[in-house]
Structure 1
Amino acid sequence: MTAATSVSPASEGPRTAPIRSKRDTVSRAEGWRRRGPLLPALIFMLVVTQVPFVFTLYYSTQSWNLVRPGSREFAGLSNYVEVFRDSQFWTVTLNTVLLIVGTVIISVLLGLAFALLLDRKFLGRGVVRTLLITPFLVTPVASALLWKTSLLSPTNGLVNWALGPLGIHVDWLSEFPLASVIAELVWQWTPFMMLLILAGLQSMPRDIAEAARVDGATSVRLFREITLPHLRRFIELGSVLGAIYLVNTFDAVYMMTSGGPGVASSNLPYYIYQRAFLGFDIGQAAAMGVVTVVGTIAVSTVAIRLIFKSFSAGQEAA
């Protein structure tokens, strides 16, 4: 028995090796079978996103102005130096930050209020929900044109008509251009925040809130101690997603104010457009685009990691 037991491992060794190799081959084949259909999508994404970015990096090292044919030459990092020396670039960057932060904060607050309203049962809740979602379904160009011509027009705008009895008549797009663009974006993005927060409200366990009410907790304390901590991850996620999309805002600025007066309402995408297609300076426009992309990636990466940590902490606590 002892000899048999001592020989059996040696005799099983050559047998297990082919079995393991066969299993590895099967697992690799299974992995390719599952991931194979995703390969065309990955290639398409790389071609659509990374190839243009590589060309943008190349153009950012060129001194190339379309007004001067034959002036194209290698400029190294001089375009980036000129970008950081441009005072208007920093003004437009500040406008972009104000545009994003203002829109996200107001949209989250309004979305939270509407989500709390729709979380209650009342007559006509479905109709109200549909009406509140509608602005998010309107195309951005049509939304900007609607606000410019029908709401904020100094001659026949509905806002001035409503404020007329108070003696208020304002040319909103000229006197408050950035605030006007923010108002239009808030109108457009509030439904998105509302739907995200409403999903968080409906996923909250009801028994905890009922137990707190039995213990005598007021509605304000219930919201502060239970509802708001539960909604924190959803609010953070909505804020990050909204900020990432708002960085690319172009149509609202172009349709409503054209970045004016001066650069008072310009953001980075519109300023890059002006430099490329109105100033014909391809090199500096490409350098601005690279700086914008790198800054956006850095900020969004940090924010997404913080959100993932928050979600992980919430799951561990649960």
Structure 2
Amino acid sequence: MTATLVGKHNLKQHGLKQQRLTDQSGNSRRSATEGWRRRAPLLPALIFTVLVTQLPFVVTLWYSLRSWNLLRTDGDIFVGLRNYADIFLDSTFRGAALNSVVITLGCVFAAMVLGTFFAILLDRSFKGRGVVRTMLITPFLIMPVAGATLWSVSMLNPSFGLVNWFIGLAGIAPVDWTSSYPVVSILMALVWQWTPFMMLLVLAGLQAQPKDVLEAAQIDGAGWWKTFTFVTLPQLRRYIELGVLLGAIYVVNTFDQIYLMTAGGPGTASANLPFYIYQRAFLGFDIGQAAAMGVVVVIATIVVATFALRLIFRSFDTKD
């Protein structure tokens, strides 16, 4: 009798276990179906993104492994990694890489400092603040080609540029900026264009900080500088990091200002990597080496952007 009851109990427990497994399996299938139902509308966009970004990159990889010069009819042969070895031995490539770093870091740093300064000014209430804010934002809305032409012709022209007129008031002789200081000239135009972007990000951070914290700092007797250093600046850290990352990603691909203001010159003194790749591909007709340079630039950009994104996500995950 006892054995019979034990057997019935075991069968019941086994049946309950099977039912739970069946329910779990059904829930898992429903969850997977629901997940695919939600992802399905995004599949066309994903397929389009792969077609327009990844396939060209794969073709570029293939070109980078071949020696293909459009001026040689006997070209287009497989050479493996020789193109990569050649570009790293190329002093012009190293100089262009150094210019890319200098232009990117210089532009992002100067634009962030000026943007923070203007954001602090606009965070205060004063008459005509809306007009001033609109005027400060305007440079970012101008097309890069128009901005580069403006700086090359109206601002930095050695004969009638406004910069030379301004320094002439102090008795300084006129300077041919684009010839004597090509990288500085490009930096002027880039900082002028990107300062409004940094200003908007920092201004958003300033307006998002809790007012009660600022009031508590004032009650404790903290001055403006201590309040900014120990309260406001930590609050702005995420916005500053985001501005630096986005600015660096875009500025490293600068082409318009270099092409229109200095054409990479004198010689290749102001050429960055995108402009030098353009020269190798469309002026030197060396498709293999240009493709290899493009692959190196893409990989380096991905590595730097991934590292920066991890730092930003880590700061967002940190609880204040």
Same fold (TM over 0.5): yes
Residues 57-96 of structure 1 aligned to structure 2 (within 5 Å): 57-96=61-100
Deviations 1:173-221 (A, max 9, x none): 1111101101101011111111111111111111111111111111011
Cross-structure match for 1:101: 105
Cross-structure match for 2:147: 143
Greater CA drift, 290-299 or 270-279? 290-299
Pairwise CA RMSD of aligned residues?
Answer: 1.7
Deviations 1:56-87 (A, max 9, x none): 11111111111111322111111111101101
Aligned length: 315
The one-letter amino acid of 2:269's match is: A
TM-score, normalised relative to structure 1? 0.94
Cross-structure match for 1:130: 134
Residues 206-225 of structure 1 aligned to structure 2 (within 5 Å): 206-225=211-230
Alignment counterpart, residue 33 of structure 2, candidates 29, 35, 43: 29
1:303 Cα shift? 1.6
Deviations 1:71-105 (A, max 9, x none): 22111111111101101111111111000000000
Residues 162-241 of structure 1 aligned to structure 2 (within 5 Å): 162-168=166-172, 169-241=174-246
- Rounded Cα–Cα distance in structure 2 between residues aligned with 1:91 and 1:85: 11
1:14 Cα shift? 3.9
1:137 Cα shift? 0.8
1:162 Cα shift? 2.1
Cross-structure match for 2:277: 272
1:5 Cα shift? 6.5
- Rounded Cα–Cα distance in structure 1 between residues aligned with 2:150 and 2:96: 25
Cross-structure match for 1:304: 309
- Rounded Cα–Cα distance in structure 1 between residues aligned with 2:207 and 2:280: 47
Q: Secondary structure at the match of 1:22?
A: helix
The one-letter amino acid of 2:131's match is: V
Q: Secondary structure at the match of 2:169?
A: helix
The one-letter amino acid of 1:16's match is: R
Alpha-carbon distance change, 17 to 151 in structure 1, aligned in 2, over 3 angstroms:
same
Q: Secondary structure at the match of 1:147?
A: helix
Structure 1 segments unaligned to the other structure (5+ residues): none
Alignment counterpart, residue 260 of structure 2, candidates 255, 259, 263: 255
1:135 Cα shift? 0.9
- Rounded Cα–Cα distance in structure 1 between residues aligned with 2:195 and 2:12: 71
Alignment counterpart, residue 112 of structure 1, candidates 97, 110, 116: 116
- Rounded Cα–Cα distance in structure 1 between residues aligned with 2:14 and 2:288: 70
Structure 2 segments unaligned to the other structure (5+ residues): none
The one-letter amino acid of 1:286's match is: A
Whether 2:295 is the aligned partner of 1:290: answer yes
1:4 Cα shift? 7.9
The one-letter amino acid of 1:31's match is: G
- Rounded Cα–Cα distance in structure 2 between residues aligned with 1:76 and 1:309: 39
Greater CA drift, 136-145 or 99-108? 136-145
- Rounded Cα–Cα distance in structure 2 between residues aligned with 1:7 and 1:288: 70
- Rounded Cα–Cα distance in structure 1 between residues aligned with 2:136 and 2:58: 41
Q: Secondary structure at the match of 2:259?
A: helix
Deviations 1:232-266 (A, max 9, x none): 12111110111111111111111111000011110
1:13 Cα shift? 3.5
- Rounded Cα–Cα distance in structure 2 between residues aligned with 1:121 and 1:174: 43
The one-letter amino acid of 1:39's match is: L
Greater CA drift, 267-276 or 239-248? 239-248
Deviations 1:283-316 (A, max 9, x none): 1111111111111111121121122222222xxx
Whether 2:286 is the aligned partner of 1:281: answer yes
